[in-house]
């Protein structure tokens, strides 16, 4: 039987192996400087952080350790958002009899100032695409890394507080503050696909990815490009689901245009972990 840390690593591997996921690296599509193998290595490297969380380690320290391990490949940032989503879920899976939204929320609510400091330090290991901080919040710019520690301590800001500050513009922060609603909902869909469809988990992961992409604007696309581009990607995903466009052509086009719906991929990885913890068979 796999441990929670092993399921987290497997979730990252299954997510990147899902094909096609428009705009994402998958088995058939890569970017010039970001390849399929980088994601495989990143998933393996992150497991030490997941093991730390499984053994009772703090969320922030576990996350930083996972990101440091993830960074030990030549592609740079592969799964920062997915690891941020997975770390409290791994801890919740170990701390509770059954992994639920309530259990994950309890982990978030228990985060501390040292967790926030470790979260900021994690940005020193990889380059992460982030928005400029809102006016008057320069002290909380995550690009400051560990230099933000004195301010975080002075203001007594926990990691949950930091996520709350970003939830209106970051899809992963919104999951942290919203009971991981989309993550658990997508996990239910993955399990339903396994009950009703005779296909590999990687195919169902790709199908759920497309459903998520069609439902809501991807905040990573919005950060990398702009709101209009993110809206267009969402609308095009809806057209693919309606049979009006080819998913393969859409996937090729987004890679060519370097439009990567990374937040949707991160939530798919989180959903795979929840489903694996609940008995999804691979």
Would you state the pLDDT for residue 136?
77
- Tokens representing 213? 């992409």
Query: Can you give the pLDDT at residue 257?
Result: 97
List the pLDDT tens digit at each of the 282 positions of the chain.
899 999 999 999 999 999 999 999 999 999 999 999 999 999 999 999 999 999 999 999 999 999 999 999 999 999 999 999 999 999 999 999 899 999 999 999 999 999 999 999 999 999 998 888 877 788 999 999 999 999 999 999 999 999 999 999 999 999 999 999 999 999 999 999 999 998 999 999 999 999 999 999 999 999 999 999 999 999 999 999 999 999 999 999 999 999 999 999 999 999 999 999 999 999
- Burial tier of 93 (Cβ tally within 10 Å: 0-12, 13-18, 19+): buried
Between CA 241 and CA 195 the distance in angstroms is 21
What pLDDT, on the 0 to 100 scale, is given for residue 186? 98
Q: Which pair of structure tokens corresponds to residue 279? A: 């008995």
- DSSP states of 90-122: HHHHHHSSS--HHHHHHHHHT--HHHHHHHHHH
31 — phi, psi (to 5°)?
Answer: -100, 160
Angle at 185 between CA 184 and CA 188, to 5 degrees: 90
Spatial distance between the Cα atoms of 217 and 162, rounded to a whole number of angstroms: 22
* Distances 121 to 8, 82, 153 between C-alpha atoms, Å: 22, 17, 14
Distance in angstroms (rounded) separating the CA atoms of residues 213 and 264: 6
Predicted pLDDT at 137: 82
Q: Which DSSP string corresponds to 24-74?
A: S--SS--BTTB-HHHHHHHHHHHHHHHHHHHTT--HHHHHHHHHHHHTSST
Q: How many CB atoms lie within 10 A of CB 61?
A: 20
pLDDT at position 191 is: 97
What is the pTM (predicted TM-score) of this model?
A: 0.97
Q: What is the pLDDT of residue 145?
A: 94
Q: Over the Cα atoms of the chain, what is R_g?
A: 18
């Amino acid at each position: 039987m796999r441990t929670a840390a092993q399921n987290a690593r497997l979730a990252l591997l299954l997510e990147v192996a899902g094909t096609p996921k428009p705009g994402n690296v998958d088995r058939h599509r890569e970017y010039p400087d970001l390849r399929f193998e980088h994601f495989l290595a990143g998933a393996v490297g992150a497991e030490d952080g997941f093991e730390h969380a499984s053994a009772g380690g703090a969320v922030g320290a576990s996350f930083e350790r996972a990101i440091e391990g993830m960074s030990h490949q030549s592609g740079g940032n592969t799964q920062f958002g997915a690891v941020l989503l997975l770390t409290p879920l791994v801890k919740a899976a170990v701390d509770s009899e059954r992994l639920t939204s309530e259990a994950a929320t309890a982990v978030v609510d228990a985060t501390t100032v040292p967790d926030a400091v470790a979260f900021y330090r994690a940005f020193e290991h990889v380059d992460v695409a982030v928005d400029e901080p809102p006016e008057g919040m320069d002290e909380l710019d995550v690009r400051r890394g560990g230099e933000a520690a004195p301010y975080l301590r002075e203001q007594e800001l926990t990691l949950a507080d930091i996520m709350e500050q970003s939830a209106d513009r970051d899809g992963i922060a919104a999951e942290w503050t919203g009971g991981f609603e989309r993550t658990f909902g997508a996990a239910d869909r993955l399990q339903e696909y396994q009950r009703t469809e005779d296909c590999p988990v990687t195919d169902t992961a790709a199908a759920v990815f497309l459903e998520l992409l069609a439902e809501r604007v991807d905040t990573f696309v919005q950060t990398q490009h702009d709101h209009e581009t993110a809206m267009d990607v969402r609308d095009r995903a809806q057209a693919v689901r309606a049979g009006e466009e080819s998913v393969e052509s859409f996937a090729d086009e987004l890679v060519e245009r370097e439009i990567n719906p990374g937040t949707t991929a991160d939530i798919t990885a989180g959903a795979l972990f929840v489903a694996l913890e609940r008995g999804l068979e691979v």
